[in-house]
Amino acid sequence: MKIKEQEIVLVAEKIIKSFPRNHSITDPYRVLITTVLSQRSKDENTEIASEKLFSVYDSVDKIANTSPQQLYELIKPAGLYKQKAKRIVEISKIIKKKYSGKVPDTLEELISLPGVGRKTANIVLYVSFGIPALAVDTHVHRISNRLGWVSTKTPEETETLLMKILPKRLWGPLNGSMVEFGKKICRPISPKCNLCVVKEKCKYYKSEKGGKR
């Protein structure tokens, strides 16, 4: 492993240790549907929508046998509720019919579901099945570029490069920790560099703009 890659691993480990995220819910179906709800939504709004949804429809069968309109009010806090309701019902019907009510545990099968991209699939693989998977969302993509780990234009490019740099044991934990780190410290606008535990290893902080903060 190159010296730069060794440094990246150490920084990643520090972020994971400093901003741990525990997953209290690991049921594959609930994790999948909640992650679909989280698309373009704040965590707190996603949580409200998920709790409302599963308090009424607590199984694949129940959601598969309902209409998207029945879900509108329940998931409205997460935003884009009409689109998400349609996807959730479609996903549930496929899981019920094609997979006998059980969420599949491969990337290929998960991303074949309506509205399920690599990020969502990788979260399910790691959180629910314990399979090494690197979920790259806007936080992971932005922070990895800001730190200088990669120089990429898309989350897909970031995922590919990080998988080459980081050991598999860090793939799963990194997403949740980066989300917490990105919300509390390494924010998109006005990052709190003075409070950052890894600023000495950060390309942005060392730059003229970052160094003046």
pTM of the model: 0.90
Domain with 163, as residue range(s), is: 3-21+135-211
Last residue of a domain, one of 111, 129, 147: 129
Residue 73 sits in the same domain as residue 56: yes
Residues 34 and 125 in one domain: yes
User: Residues 76-102: pLDDT tens digits?
Assistant: 999 999 999 999 999 999 999 999 999
Within 8 A by CB and 6+ apart from 147, the residues are 8, 11, 198, 201, 202, 203, 204
Q: Which two tokens stand for residue 68?
A: 């998207």
Cβ neighbours of residue 2 closer than 8 Å, sequence gap 6 or more: none
- Pick the last residue of a domain from 80, 111, 129: 129
- Which residues are known binding-site members for [4Fe-4S] cluster? 186, 193, 196, 202
How far apart CA 2 and CA 198 sit, in angstroms, is 19
Among 101, 129, 157, identify where a domain stops.
Answer: 129
Across the range 150-175, mean pLDDT stands at 96
Structure token digits, residue 81? 């509720």
Report the pLDDT value the prediction gives residue 43, as an integer from 0 to 100.
86
Confidence of residue 54 (pLDDT cuts 50, 70, 90): very high
Q: Give the separation between CA 87 and CA 81, rounded to whole angstroms.
A: 10
Q: Are residues 122 and 171 in the same domain?
A: no
Whether the CA torsion 203, 193, 17, 169 is positive or negative: it is: negative
Helix (H) or strand (E) segment spanning residue 145: helix 138-147
Q: Cα 129–173–200 angle (5° rounding)? A: 170
What is the model's pLDDT at position 205?
Answer: 94
Overall average pLDDT of the 22-49 stretch: 93
Range 169-184 average pLDDT: 96
* φ, ψ of residue 137 in degrees (nearest 5): -105, -165
- The two structure tokens encoding residue 130: 């314990």
Per-residue pLDDT tens over the stretch 8-17:
999 999 999 9
Q: What CATH code is carried by the domain that includes residue 197?
A: 1.10.1670.10
Q: Which residues line the annotated binding site?
A: 186, 193, 196, 202
Q: Is the pLDDT of residue 147 over 90?
A: yes
Mark whether 72 and 16 lie in a shared domain: no
Question: What is the number of domains present in the chain?
Answer: 2
Output the domain CATH number for residue 66: 1.10.340.30
- Asked if residue 121 and residue 32 are part of one domain, the reply reads yes
Are 93 and 115 within one domain? yes
Statement to judge: residues 122 and 79 lie in one domain: yes
What is the dihedral angle through the alpha carbons of 205, 201, 133, 156, rounded to the nearest 10 degrees?
Answer: 40
